[in-house]
Amino acid sequence: MHRYLLPVMLLLMLGLAGGAHADDTVAKLAAKLKVAPADLSPGPLPGLYRVTLGPDVAYVSADGRYLLRGDLIDLQDGKNITREQREAARVAFIKGINADDMIVFKAAHPRHVLTILTDIDCQYCRAIAREMPELEAKGVELHYLAFPRAGVGSSSWDKAVAVWCAKDRQTAYVDAMRGTPVTAGKCGESAVAVGYDFAQRLGVTGTPAIITETGQLIDGYLPADQLVQLLDNPSLQGQMDD
């Protein structure tokens, strides 16, 4: 019996050693990249680790020397592995954002929830604002985060702060998107900073940037009817180039 048990014991020992080695690699990479160990996991290729960077995903070599940003595609079935991982990272990141940092326009019977990075001075963002009643009637709930593209201290930043500091944010947002000046309330800039930081992490430079409840990124404006059609058709969402 012992001669049969020995190979099994050796395999178990090798497995434990391999696991310990992987854990050690993850710990070292996490320290080097300044991320939590939970944000690292073995990648789909030997010697490659996946690292979740907020709402984004990248790959790093086991020695921590090389970082790869881009899509990893399985040519056997054409599956974009990175896209799925990136979408999941976006969803997880958005869930961690405090609702108080958003301006929410609820739908009576929500079928879709969109997170939108918006700029008060963005004409296409204003187009979405005009179409909000139509979107809400079709079951689309809108969660806005501020992304003043001109940056901290710009007039766009100040307008965003005024809206996000208003007692009635929804009314202030609608007024601002119509071109009506909004008087700044007394509060900090943290809510605007949250949206701006999210946009930087996401790597977007334009507005509107729309993220669906499944993590798909719609980079730019779509008329309400086209947007709803896209949301209702997962196969069309899968064709988006993000």
Whole-structure pTM value: 0.85
- Give CATH 3.40.30.10 domain extents, the chain: 95-237
| Pair 161, 221: CB distance under 8 Å | no
Q: Residues near 192 by Cβ (< 8 Å), separated by ≥ 6?
A: 146, 148, 157, 160, 161, 164
d(CA 14, CA 226): 55
d(CA 137, CA 203): 31
| Residue 137 token pair | 């009637």
- Please provide the CATH number assigned to the domain covering 95-237: 3.40.30.10
| Domain 2-83 sits in CATH 3.10.450.70 | yes
For the chain (242 residues), the mean pLDDT of every run of 10, in chain order, is 49 45 80 91 90 93 91 91 94 96 96 98 97 97 98 95 95 96 86 97 95 95 96 71 46
- Give CATH 3.10.450.70 domain extents, the chain: 2-83
pLDDT of residue 85: 93
